[in-house]
Amino acid sequence: MTDRAIRLATVSLLAFLAALAWLRLETTSSITHFLPSPEEAEQVALVRELVESDLSRTMLLRIGGEGDRAGAARALAGSLRELSDVARVQAGDDPAAIEALARVVFPRRIFLASSEPEREIPALVSKEALGARADALRDRLAGPLGILVARQAPGDPLDLVGRILARLRDARPASRAGEATVLVRTRPSAFDSERQTRLLDEISERFRLVAARHGPALRLEQSGVNRIAVATERSMRRDVQTTSIVSWAAVVAIFFGFFRSLRALVLAFLPPTIGIAFATCVAGALLGPVHGATLGFGLALVGVAIDYPIHLIVHHALAAKSVPARDSARGLRRPLVVSGATTALCFGVLSTSRFPGVEDMGSFAAIGILTALAATLFALPAFLPTEGSRLATPALRHTAAALGEALAGFARLRPLGFGVVAAACVVAALGIPRVDWSDDPAALSSVDPSLLEEDRRVRTSASGVDLDRFVVAQGETAEQALERNDAVYEALEDAAASGHLDGVRSLHAALFSESLQRRNLEAFRAERDLSRRIEDAFSERGFERGRFDAFTREVFEPSALPLRPEDLADTPLAGLVDATLVPVRGGFAVVTYLRGVRDAHAVAEAIEAIPGVRYLDQAEILRGVFEGFRRTTLRLLGVSALLVLAVLVFRYRSARRALLASLPALVAPAATLGVFGLAGFEANLLAVVSLLLVMGMGVDYGVFMVDACASAERFGATAVALLVSCLTSIAVFGVLALSTQPALRAIGLGTGIGLGVAFVLAVGTVALAGDREPA
Amino acid sequence: MLRTAALLIAFVVALAGARLASADDALLADVLHRLGENGGVRARYHERKTVSLLSAPIESAGTLYFDPPDHLARHVEGAGGAKMAVAGDLVVMRDATGEERLRIGESEVARGLAESFSVALRGDLSLLGSRYETEIQGDLASWRLRLVPRSRALARLVDRIVLEGSGGTLRRVELVEVGGDRTTTEFEDVATGVHFGPEERARIFLIDRAPARVDD
């Protein structure tokens, strides 16, 4: 096949893969991609379902300031209902919604009277209680709302509706005087940043128009998971754009410095680009939606896989005589294949992780690297001129010569080699025990503190609940989940009475299970002579006899069926139902939010006897997940290191040469961690991922350097190729250390430090190798 | 000829009716103007509520306060006397058992009940006309104003409100409910032109403490 045909085929293939990836690729940004497989961790499975449920789709909007706040809230709610991405909207004081609530609750007042009907209802209808009720009713009839009370009293002399409304008061988001609330449930997931960004912009714009009509001094505060997710993504994208510009500028400067040719730059990026495009197509075809972090990690492979074309280009440019590029590639085949295979192995081990997102990253990386290697060996030569010297600049030649001489000098300084390795090991030994590990997921991203404060202020002032801790009652059916939730409510009320927490926000306040509702009905029916007792007690306090027959009739001939979740759909409590009754795998879950938890252990104990019920501390669970992810990745790093060593022993048939070649891969990650510990840098799971990159590139440096030791011709070329690779990789990754996002900064620091250490250790292998040995 | 006479009589009757309507409008405007000129009002009241549920009426007494345009309060006499205040959009009720705060919002019923006669005390003719059908009888020395709610929601509860007074002084209000129950409130020791200082205003109209929450 001619070089021209290969070039045409390569460009066509790249265009095809890029188009396929662009058209077919679906991405996701959900954190659930980095949670363990559901089969393994039930609690985490529940958390991931809750994260993806309507809970995260709910926004709270508060309107304050001077002006017609209530009118603005209703106008805003009406305007937002027009948006296709809004599933439900409620303004806090919508009279129609309140009237709908009254129509739903009043006919069911008997069913919803008490959480403990067998105990409370007999007490409610005792002679003393009925007398007190009659006195209270008299007082209320005398009050300003007596006209309303008089209409309701014949059907509800015991004021059961008042009891129910008092319970409901705690279940709804409350407004401070001077503020109005609007509850919004969005259709797209909170993590669908494209749609959420559009929606948030619409909310801001529509509020601006509403405020112009209802009071220019009105202000809007918002709370919602979507705002945090969108803000985080915007910040990360801004950072990546900034660091990309700096990165590219540095890479162009490096290539111009050594090759004075854009052609060399383009050719160097060709194989990694093919690798990423192919890996993306495979991921899209086999994995379904690809996580943004997986794609980001894949793009980082450029910095790893660019080593192979750089080596080929440099060696071909510095070849002693003009040879076809294919011959240069043939001469480098063995070291390139060994380094590519071991690097792919390093990342491929990740695909054995129990975290789906990490598995994807490992598979993506391994496929991408092997493809880039193949493209380097078989396609890139067709793009290189036969006269490689046309690519070489005086800077490249001089640097190669100088480095070759320097390394030749090193080869006679074996103690220096031992010193370099020993220093790295000492740094590792001293620093690793001091490493400050952070597994807090919140610490991976940096969000505007004012945004977080606004979110916290709006949510906690509305409900006062701790959003990270809750109790979940699961059931195969909604009724079973509600029954368990009834028991949870009782247990947590007792726990609150004992001072273990301040209170709860529970669906139980608005909705009992059907079985509990029927127990209420039966409890009233069990009271003998109920009608006569009510008549006697009330008539003694000045009431006319026969006025409360409607109530006793309702006990024996209810005018409505027990309340169901769907009955609350058009009422102000619809938001509460959406936020607490969640379909999950295997049935339903009812979430109870907690206020002011003082003793989490006591709270967990209070509910542990109830089947299908758990206490969840979401922050703790995610922290444990991230810690598990970190430990797993560290363990896999160790496994990768052993596998790399085994492959190199097989390649070199010499334990000594295998150990020399693997030195940068084995020691650089450890020394990097040591630097983190000694310098006081916070280490997180992204820092661990960066160690993988260091290991992957470190093995390249070690293999190339050990192979170069066998040939005088290659020594200088290999050294300058390694230098260009190292500088390029530091420009691609190390620049991330400038990012404001902790996750990106961790990768930048880890790779920047690690690659520098790996390069120094690669030089150290020259000293340890001593005089050149045959390959 | 007979036909011409009939037309003439009809014309005179119509003219008399028109003059009568004009005279009523003028009286209403005059009464409301005088009521509106009162400014702040403080008066003792005695109230009698006839409720069909009860075998005997409920009687209470206390003090009523009005600070235009939209602050109204009633303080019931006696130990543990209840207090009710309307301040703009907010209704506050406080008694020995505690306090409730409600926002009226756009609820026609709640607004109608809370402002059952304060809307007249404001002296705003157009506002009164927008909320009620009005019919006034008598003269400035002794007038009787009948209000029938225009709001269908309020009209389901309230049949009519009848205000009686003299000049710019309100003497009696009777609220008759659709079911026949009625509340009659009589005023005495009516003081007008009352100025409420900031502390007094906060204390009387129950805005003297920041609320923990308000129910919508």
- Please tell me whether the peptide bond between A385 and the residue prior to it is cis, using omega within 30 degrees of 0: no
- Cβ separation A176–B214 shorter than 8 A: yes
State how far the Cα of B186 lies from the Cα of B170, in Å rounded to an integer. Answer: 9
Last residue of a domain, one of A357, A372, A392: A392
State how far the Cα of A317 lies from the Cα of A372, in Å rounded to an integer. Answer: 20
Q: Which residues of B touch A151 (CB under 8 A)?
A: 157, 179
Is residue A362 pLDDT above 90, yes or no? Answer: no
Question: Which of A283-287, A391-395, A701-705, B188-192 has the lowest average pLDDT?
Answer: A283-287
Confidence of residue A463 (pLDDT cuts 50, 70, 90): low
Contacts of residue A197, defined as CB under 8 A and 6 or more positions apart, other chains included, come to: A230, A234
In a domain, B11, yes or no: yes
In a domain, B209, yes or no: no
| pLDDT tens digits along A407-436 | 878 777 888 888 889 999 999 999 999 999
Confidence of residue B79 (pLDDT cuts 50, 70, 90): low
A315 and A360 inside one domain:
yes
Domain with A272 in it: what CATH number?
1.20.1640.10
What per-residue confidence (pLDDT) applies to A775?
43
Position with higher pLDDT, A294 vs B184: B184
Average pLDDT, integer, range A498-524: 94
In a domain, B212, yes or no: no
Last residue of a domain, one of A537, A557, A572: A572
Average pLDDT, integer, range A87-104: 74
Domain that holds residue A204: 52-91+181-223
A365 closest CA partner among A268, A271, A279: A279
State how far the Cα of A505 lies from the Cα of A470, in Å rounded to an integer. Answer: 10
Total domains in chain A come to: 3
Position with higher pLDDT, A301 vs A176: A301
- Cβ separation A143–B93 shorter than 8 A: yes
Q: Which residues of B touch A539 (CB under 8 A)?
A: 55
What per-residue confidence (pLDDT) applies to B210?
47
Confidence of residue A93 (pLDDT cuts 50, 70, 90): low
Name the percent of chain A lying above pLDDT 90. 33
Q: Give me the helix-helix angle, A618-652 and A655-679, nearest 10°.
A: 150
Confidence of residue B216 (pLDDT cuts 50, 70, 90): very low
Q: Amino acid identity of A559?
A: S
| pLDDT tens digits along A2-15 | 888 888 888 888 88
Is residue A700 pLDDT above 50, yes or no? Answer: yes
What per-residue confidence (pLDDT) applies to B18?
52
Alpha-carbon dihedral angle through residues A606, A608, A610, A615, given to the nearest 10 degrees: 90
A364 and A271 inside one domain:
yes
In a domain, B215, yes or no: no
In a domain, A120, yes or no: yes
A289 and A313 inside one domain:
yes
In a domain, A541, yes or no: yes
| Count of all residues that appear for chain B in the document | 216
What per-residue confidence (pLDDT) applies to A174?
54
What per-residue confidence (pLDDT) applies to A40?
47
Name the residue of chain A whose CA is nearest to B175's CA: A147
Total domains in chain B come to: 1
What per-residue confidence (pLDDT) applies to A708?
81
A77 and A203 inside one domain:
yes
A116 and A155 inside one domain:
yes
Name the residue of chain A whose CA is nearest to B180's CA: A147
Question: Which of A576-585, A665-674, B104-113 has the lowest average pLDDT?
Answer: B104-113
Confidence of residue A520 (pLDDT cuts 50, 70, 90): very high
Confidence of residue B206 (pLDDT cuts 50, 70, 90): confident
What per-residue confidence (pLDDT) applies to B215?
46
In a domain, A764, yes or no: no
What per-residue confidence (pLDDT) applies to A629?
78
What per-residue confidence (pLDDT) applies to A610?
95
| pLDDT tens digits along B37-62 | 988 999 999 999 999 999 999 998 99
Interface with chain B: mutation pick from A63, A68, A69, A93, highest number of B CBs within 10 Å: A93
A266 and A337 inside one domain:
yes
Find out whether A83 and A203 touch, Cβ atoms under 8 Å.
no
A271 and A336 inside one domain:
yes
Confidence of residue B214 (pLDDT cuts 50, 70, 90): very low
Confidence of residue A763 (pLDDT cuts 50, 70, 90): confident
Residue A441 phi/psi, 5° resolution? -60, -30
What per-residue confidence (pLDDT) applies to A176?
56
Domain with A211 in it: what CATH number?
3.30.70.100
Q: Compare CB distances from A542 to B56, B60, B105 and report the shortest one's residue.
A: B56
What per-residue confidence (pLDDT) applies to A27?
61
- Average pLDDT of every residue of chain A: 85
Write the ipTM.
Answer: 0.81
Q: Compare CB distances from A141 to B49, B95, B179 and report the shortest one's residue.
A: B49
In a domain, A342, yes or no: yes
Kindly list the residues of chain A whose beta carbon comes within 8 Å of any beta carbon in chain B: 70-71, 74, 92-93, 95, 98, 138-139, 141-148, 150-151, 153-154, 169, 172, 174-177, 180-181, 539, 542-544, 547, 572
In a domain, A211, yes or no: yes
In a domain, B210, yes or no: no
- Cβ separation A151–B103 shorter than 8 A: no
- Average pLDDT of every residue of chain B: 82
What per-residue confidence (pLDDT) applies to A95?
61
A130 and A69 inside one domain:
no
Find out whether A373 and A309 touch, Cβ atoms under 8 Å.
no
Is residue B9 pLDDT above 70, yes or no? Answer: no
Name the residue of chain A whose CA is nearest to B82's CA: A143
A65 and A211 inside one domain:
yes
In a domain, B214, yes or no: no
Domain that holds residue B143: 2-204
Q: Compare CB distances from A177 to B52, B74, B101 and report the shortest one's residue.
A: B101
What per-residue confidence (pLDDT) applies to B212?
45
In a domain, A608, yes or no: no
In a domain, A585, yes or no: no
A372 and A312 inside one domain:
yes
SS (H, E, C) A326-395: HHHHHHHHHHHHHHHHHHHHHHHHHHHCCCHHHHHHHHHHHHHHHHHHHHHHHHHHHHCCCCHHHHCCHH
Domain with B69 in it: what CATH number?
2.50.20.10
A295 and A168 inside one domain:
no
Q: Compare CB distances from A70 to B53, B105, B175 and report the shortest one's residue.
A: B105
Name the percent of chain B lying above pLDDT 90. 42
- Cβ separation B58–A572 shorter than 8 A: no
- Number of neighbours of residue A559 by Cβ within 10 angstroms: 12
- Cβ separation A176–B90 shorter than 8 A: no
In a domain, B42, yes or no: yes
In a domain, A725, yes or no: no
Q: Compare CB distances from B53 to A71, A141, A144 and report the shortest one's residue.
A: A141
| pLDDT tens digits along A55-66 | 678 888 989 888
- Number of neighbours of residue A60 by Cβ within 10 angstroms: 20
Distances (CA, A) of A263 to A269, A384, A390, A392, A720: 10, 9, 11, 12, 19
What per-residue confidence (pLDDT) applies to B3?
52
What per-residue confidence (pLDDT) applies to A42?
63
Give the ranges where B96-171 is alpha helix by DSSP (H): 108-114, 118-121, 125-131, 152-155
Last residue of a domain, one of A392, A414, A434: A392
Q: Compare CB distances from A174 to B51, B107, B213 and report the shortest one's residue.
A: B213
- Cβ separation A147–B216 shorter than 8 A: no
Q: Which residues of B touch A70 (CB under 8 A)?
A: 89, 103, 105-106
| pLDDT tens digits along A558-598 | 999 999 999 988 787 887 888 789 888 789 999 998 888 89
Structure tokens given for A89 = 């909207």
Q: Are strands A27-28 and A290-291 parallel, antiparallel or unpaired?
A: parallel
Give the ranges where A684-741 is alpha helix by DSSP (H): 685-708, 712-733
Average pLDDT, integer, range A718-732: 87
Contacts of residue B53, defined as CB under 8 A and 6 or more positions apart, other chains included, come to: A141, A150, A153, A154, A543, A544, A547
- Cβ separation B216–A177 shorter than 8 A: no
Is residue A477 pLDDT above 80, yes or no? Answer: yes
Q: Compare CB distances from B216 to A93, A143, A544 and report the shortest one's residue.
A: A93
